[in-house]
Amino acid sequence: MFQEKRILAVLLSALLILPCVACANGNDPSRETNGIFTTADSENDSEFFPNVEKQDYHGETFCMAGTGGGGDWYLADEYKASDGNIHVLNNTIYEMNTLIEDHLNVELVSGKSAGVPVETAIMSGDDIYQALVQHAYFEVAPYISRNFVIDMNELDALDFSQFYWNGDTIEELSINDHVYVAVGDICQSEIHMIYTNKDLMATANIKMPYDQVRNGEWTFDALTAMTANLYVDDGDGQQNNKDIYGFAGSWADWGAVLPQAADTFVASKNSDGGFDLTLYSDRTAEFYEKVFAWTQDESVRIWFYGAPEGDSVDFASNQVYLHGSTLGTKYLSVDFKLGILPMPKYDVAQENYSHVNWGDEILVPTTVKNRDMVGQVLELMSFYSGTMVREKYYDEVLQLRVSEAPDDRDMVELIYNTIVYDPGMVYAHAGGSETGSIYPLIYTFYFCIQDKKPNITSYYQSYAKPAQKQIDTLIKKVFQRS
């Protein structure tokens, strides 16, 4: 029996433990208002409990493992933060897990305690892992292609219509009606957004665009206008990381999330149950040209993967008005007033804001024997993650209590409530160390701007055909065994 229990690792060290998809919006149209998703109805949700009756599985283990430490985050027991204190979420997560263990008489254990690689266990037919957490695109397509994971429609306890799952995204990621990938409040999120220095903006008489956001008017053109004419040289006559900028941020991966923010996806579901490449269009080409022109403005400073340290500008240094980054806690201690904004839309006609998740997905290996237990644990984990952890995260981790920061709290909820997944990203990995031909398309805006290409046409054409072939090969294998 595994001895290592409830180890809180990667997710809480990154302090990103909220829902990873549309705030698990499910298929409930009542949670959408004026194109902006609202938060869940906490009063109604508090009265709901999943259709999982109390069980006695005699202490059977439920072991979750995955890439990048995935699967460890929800196992919290005596986890200490770097300062030696118990993490603020530890007690909440411990309580959540205890409720699940008591309700089903199971033992939640860390995948690190197994000591057996996932692929080895699956190929040997050993029921060691009951669920897998795969980060971004790593091994998702290869596991499906090699028949390593089941269609989760076979797990009767899973109700993807509930608010703690994202039913729309799960359907979008399904292949020929088979659900190999599930996403919901159980998952880790990695979401790109915009931080603002409210003090700098106030000095420049720039109003925080909260009302623009709420009215659906926070667009890329609005961002461009806001960041213009804000460059200030430090006096040496050279543009460097000592100057003041309207916008600054690493282009990896913030630049790569702009297409999805503009409601453009590398691949989208087709009527045959597969996927077609949908990145390139006249609209995308025009959008790229706007982005390219913006990055060349002196008020905008971006740097690329592997760039020298001197290329970057530290947002905490009080030199940047708007900063593209991932949502988290790294700037809670800055000595200026911090603001939060979502990614901009393409234009006002775009229905919703859109934040593509680089976080995790849930898969279930074919080797699981007690599928009733596995489905019930996953259903309860997602339910409790959505109902017990969310408010604690907003209030205590991000320190965005409604009474203290109502506007920024609204922005964070909007960001989490408009998270999407790109099928082209989820299924980009070809296997092993090979990322395949879809991978470069994910980074179209990144590489083309890095190479100072004025348009994306030739770059896209060089990868489109092999990328579509990579997708079609995966789909063909699924159809052949359906």
**Lowest-confidence region among 78-82, 140-144, 202-206, 298-302:** 78-82
Per-residue pLDDT tens for 136-146? 888 999 999 99
Identity of the residue numbered 15: L
How is residue 453 annotated by DSSP? Answer: -
339 beta partners: 196
Checking if the pLDDT of 100 tops 90, the result is yes
Question: At 90, phi and psi to the nearest 5?
Answer: -60, -50
What is the model's pLDDT at position 309?
Answer: 84
pLDDT at residue 10 is higher than 80:
no
Residue 44 has pLDDT above 60, yes or no: no
Mean pLDDT of 93-115: 88
Taking residue 317's Cβ as centre, other Cβ atoms within 10 Å add up to 13
Burial 425-437 (b: 16+ CB within 10 A, else e): bbbbbbeeeebbb
Q: Among 68-77, 223-232, 296-305, 351-360, whose mean pLDDT is lowest?
A: 68-77
Q: What length does the chain have?
A: 482
Q: Is the pLDDT of residue 405 over 70?
A: yes
Q: Of 341, 62, 320, whose CA–CA distance to 186 is shortest?
A: 62
Q: Write the burial class of residue 154 (CB in 10 Å: 0-12 exposed, 13-18 middle, 19+ buried).
A: middle
pLDDT at 417 over 60: yes
Report percent pLDDT > 70 for the chain.
85
Is the pLDDT at 344 greater than 60? The verdict is: yes
- The upper half-sphere exposure of residue 341, i.e. CA atoms within 13 Å in the direction of its Cβ, equals 29
- 399 by Cβ neighbours in 10 Å (0-12 / 13-18 / 19+) ranks as middle
Residue 62 pLDDT exceeds 50? yes
Q: In angstroms, rounded to a whole number, what is the distance separating the alpha carbons of residues 66 and 190?
A: 16
Residue 387 DSSP symbol: I
Burial class (CB in 10 A: 0-12, 13-18, 19+), 453: middle
235-261: per-residue pLDDT in tens? 999 999 999 999 999 999 898 999 999
**Whether the Cβ atoms of residue 181 and residue 137 lie closer than 8 Å to each other:** no
What local confidence, expressed as pLDDT, does residue 208 receive?
98
Q: How is residue 316 written in tokens?
A: 């905490």
In the chain, % helix, strand, coil (3-state, to 5) comes to: 40, 15, 45
pLDDT of res. 30? 27
**Model pLDDT, residue 24:** 36
> Which three-class secondary structure state does DSSP give residue 362?
strand
How far apart, in whole angstroms, are the C-alpha atoms of residue 1 and residue 114? 9
Residue with structure tokens 């201690």? 333
Residue range 266-281, pLDDT digits in tens: 999 999 999 999 999 9
- Residues contacting 52, CB < 8 A, separation 6+: 103, 104, 157, 376, 379, 380
Antiparallel, parallel or unpaired: β 60-66 and 106-110: parallel
Q: Is the pLDDT of residue 8 over 60?
A: no
* pLDDT value, residue 290: 98
Which of 389, 388, 366, 363 shows the shortest CA–CA distance to 378?
Answer: 363
How many whole angstroms separate alpha carbon 279 and alpha carbon 396? 39
Amino acid 394: pLDDT = 74
**Cα 12 from Cα 110, distance rounded (Å):** 15
Q: Is 60 exceeded by the pLDDT of residue 116?
A: yes
Q: Per-residue pLDDT averaged across 191-213, rounded? A: 97
Q: Quick one: average pLDDT of 166-178?
A: 95
